[in-house]
Structure 1
Amino acid sequence: MVIDYINGLKTDEIFAMSKYQSEIHSRLNNIKLNKIEYPNLSKVAGVNKAVEYFAYPFIVKKKVNKNNIKHITRQDLAFLLELTDLEKTIVTCHDIIPIAYYKTRSPLWKLNAKGLRKAEKIITVSEFSKQDISKYIKYPEENIEIITPAVDHSLYFPNSSKKCLSKYGIGNDEKVILYVGAEEPRKNVQFLINSFSKLKNKIPHIKLLKAGTPNYLFVRKKLLEQIKALNLQNDVIFTGYVSETELAEIYNAVDLFVFPSLYEGFGIPPLEAMACGTPVITSNTSSLPEVVGDAAVQADPFNVEKFAEEMYEILTNEVLKEEMIRKGLKRSKMFSWDISAKKTLKIYKEL
């Protein structure tokens, strides 16, 4: 079976959506992908997006095969269904954050919404996202399939060592909290820094490590101003982009993983942290309770003091910490890339 795999920008970087697709399709041995992508022409903001909106529809139209199933791998490429005549289409829609959370009036997202309605099947990653797609896009629930992300346990597993933290100037005697992800407002990083500041009053020798690219430069600027105002310049460390191998090492090296996001379609990092035997605190919003179950502390992502108390409790209560590690390891094994791959193959065959 050949799938016209409409994947957008050609890149070697691994991030949440690309990881999801690569993990699933690496397990589909009898599927051949006709990858339809556009080249990475510039690092200047906006250039590649211009190519995506104005040139990519023509690339797709030229390279698709009428008889193949067309799989559009991201929700923000759904506009292609409005601009090109595609049959037998699946769209993987991880979330509809611009519509459901940011309430955007963007013409491009109106096009994406129209495109999503034209898909014969939508794959999404959680029951929460399924309900949002049905509610905001007015797409029939019976045509939405949930295929969850998972964890590669050959990469993410307990292997405790603090060695990798030395490159960030972190000593063996310091406690370390980790956040992995972007910095856009819904990720709630500003809240986390405020809460970390409260925690530092109780645990002086502690660092907050933030892994991932800035993605919103104006937000990074505000975060740096906030860090300076709180006198945390030596205590909050930005790693930038890290490879998956290094990320697994970092998960193992830290004492606590936090994920205070206000809105997530799924949220893979909490599962990865659990798989490495690291206790987790998430917010109690959107899909995150569905992801972590009772294996993580679910905290109010608006209450700075309470969030700091929850972090302090885990960092100082060994009995609680060990219980969370045990539950987290068990929870992470409930999500399987092999099962997700089988469900994807079933949809391809049905279509």
Structure 2
Amino acid sequence: MEIDYINGLKTDEIFGMSKYQSEIHRRLNNVKLNRIEYPNISKVPGVNKLVECFAYPFIVKKKIVRDNIKHITRQDLAFLLELVDLKKTIVTCHDIIPIAYYNTRNPIWKLNAKGLRKAEKIITVSEFSKKDISKYIKYPEDQIEIIPPAVDHNLYYPNRNRAALKKYRIEETEKVILYVGAEEPRKNIQLLINSFSKLKNKIPQVKLLKVGTPNYLGVREKLLEQIESLNLQKDIIFTGYVSERELAEIYNAVDLFVFPSLYEGFGIPPLEAMACGTPVITSNTSSLPEVVGDAAIVVDPYDADKLVEEMYQLLTDDGLKKEMIRKGLKRSKMFSWDESARKTLRVYKEL
């Protein structure tokens, strides 16, 4: 079986969507991928997006094979279905955040919505996302297949060691809270920083480590202004992008993982933290309760004081910490990339 794998930007960086794509498809035996991508031509924000919108449709049209199943691997490439005649098409739609959360009027996203409606099948990552796709896109639920992300347990497993923190000059005696992800407004990092500031009044020896790139225009500058106004310049550390292996080491080095997002289609980082034996606090919104079950502390992501309270409890109550670690390890093992690959192959065969 050969699949036209319409993947967008060619990149070696691993993040939520690219991780999902690579982990599933390296487990699909006897499936040949005709990768259709466009080159990373610029580090200047927006340039690659212009290539995606105006040149990529021509690349796709030229490189597709008529009888192949077409798999568009990201929802923000669904506009291709409006611009290129594609038959036997599956779209992986992780979420529809621009429509469901930001209420965007972006014309490209109007095209994406129309393109999604033309797909013969949609793969999504959670029951929550399935309901949103049905609600906002008006796409039939019986044509939406849920195939959740998972954790590579050969990489993310308990190997508790603080060595990864040395490069960030964090002392052995300091507690460390970790956040992994983007910096766009729905990620709610401003509230996390405010809560962290209040937590320092209770636990002075604590640091906040933020892993990930500044992917949203102007937000990093606002975060740095907020940090300076709270006099936390020495206590909040931005690592930038890290490799998968280093990320696993960081999960294993920290005391607590906090993920206060307002809206997620799924949310892989809480699962990865659990798999490494790190207790998790996350939001009680969108798909996150579906992801973590009873294996994490879930809080109202608008309640900064409640977040402070829960962080303090997990950092000071060893019994609670051990219980959440135990539950987290068990929960993370429920998500398997092998199972996700089997389900993906079944969708290909059905089409």
Superposition TM-score tier, normalisation by shorter sequence: over 0.9
The 3-state SS of whatever aligns with 1:281 is strand
Alignment of 1:98-113 (within 5 A): 98-113=98-113
Distance (Å, rounded) in 1 between the aligned partners of 2:94 and 2:293: 20
Residue equivalent to 1:191 = 191
- Per-residue Cα deviation, 1:122-174 (whole angstroms, up to 9, x for no partner): 00000000000000000000000000000000000000111110100101100
Residue equivalent to 1:201 = 201
- Tell me how far 1:117 sits from its aligned partner: 0.1
Residue equivalent to 1:292 = 292
Residue equivalent to 1:254 = 254
Residue equivalent to 1:48 = 48
What's the Cα RMSD here? 0.4
Residue equivalent to 1:310 = 310
Distance (Å, rounded) in 1 between the aligned partners of 2:46 and 2:220: 18
The 3-state SS of whatever aligns with 2:234 is coil
Residue equivalent to 1:59 = 59
The 3-state SS of whatever aligns with 1:201 is helix
1:125 is aligned with what amino acid?
A: V
Residue equivalent to 1:117 = 117
Ranges of 4+ aligned residues in structure 1 off by more than 4 Å: none
- Tell me how far 1:260 sits from its aligned partner: 0.0
- Per-residue Cα deviation, 1:211-270 (whole angstroms, up to 9, x for no partner): 000102410000000000001000000000000000000000000000000000000000
1:161 is aligned with what amino acid?
A: N
Query: Structure 1 stretches of 5 or more lacking a match?
Result: none
Distance (Å, rounded) in 2 between the aligned partners of 1:30 and 1:289: 36
Alignment of 1:10-21 (within 5 A): 10-21=10-21
- Tell me how far 1:46 sits from its aligned partner: 1.3
Residue equivalent to 1:39 = 39
- Tell me how far 1:290 sits from its aligned partner: 0.1
Distance (Å, rounded) in 2 between the aligned partners of 1:211 and 1:246: 11
Query: Structure 2 stretches of 5 or more lacking a match?
Result: none
1:84 is aligned with what amino acid?
A: V
- Tell me how far 1:29 sits from its aligned partner: 1.2
Alignment of 1:212-251 (within 5 A): 212-251=212-251
Alignment of 1:137-156 (within 5 A): 137-156=137-156
Distance (Å, rounded) in 2 between the aligned partners of 1:306 and 1:113: 37
Distance (Å, rounded) in 1 between the aligned partners of 2:319 and 2:274: 17
1:126 is aligned with what amino acid?
A: S
Distance (Å, rounded) in 1 between the aligned partners of 2:77 and 2:156: 30
Residue equivalent to 1:301 = 301
Distance (Å, rounded) in 1 between the aligned partners of 2:151 and 2:45: 31
1:24 is aligned with what amino acid?
A: I
Residue equivalent to 1:335 = 335
Residue equivalent to 1:270 = 270
Distance (Å, rounded) in 2 between the aligned partners of 1:217 and 1:174: 32
Distance (Å, rounded) in 2 between the aligned partners of 1:46 and 1:327: 42
Residue equivalent to 1:78 = 78
1:162 is aligned with what amino acid?
A: R
TM-score, scaled relative to structure 1 = 1.00
Task: Give yes or no for the alignment of 1:179 onto 2:187.
Answer: no
Residue equivalent to 2:345 = 345
The 3-state SS of whatever aligns with 1:113 is helix
Distance (Å, rounded) in 1 between the aligned partners of 2:217 and 2:168: 22
TM-score, scaled relative to structure 2 = 1.00
Residue equivalent to 1:7 = 7
Residue equivalent to 2:29 = 29
Distance (Å, rounded) in 1 between the aligned partners of 2:254 and 2:42: 35
2:285 is aligned with what amino acid?
A: T
The 3-state SS of whatever aligns with 2:145 is strand
Task: Give yes or no for the alignment of 1:281 onto 2:281.
Answer: yes
Residue equivalent to 1:319 = 319
- Tell me how far 1:45 sits from its aligned partner: 1.2
Q: Which shows bigger deviation, 73-82 or 211-220?
A: 211-220
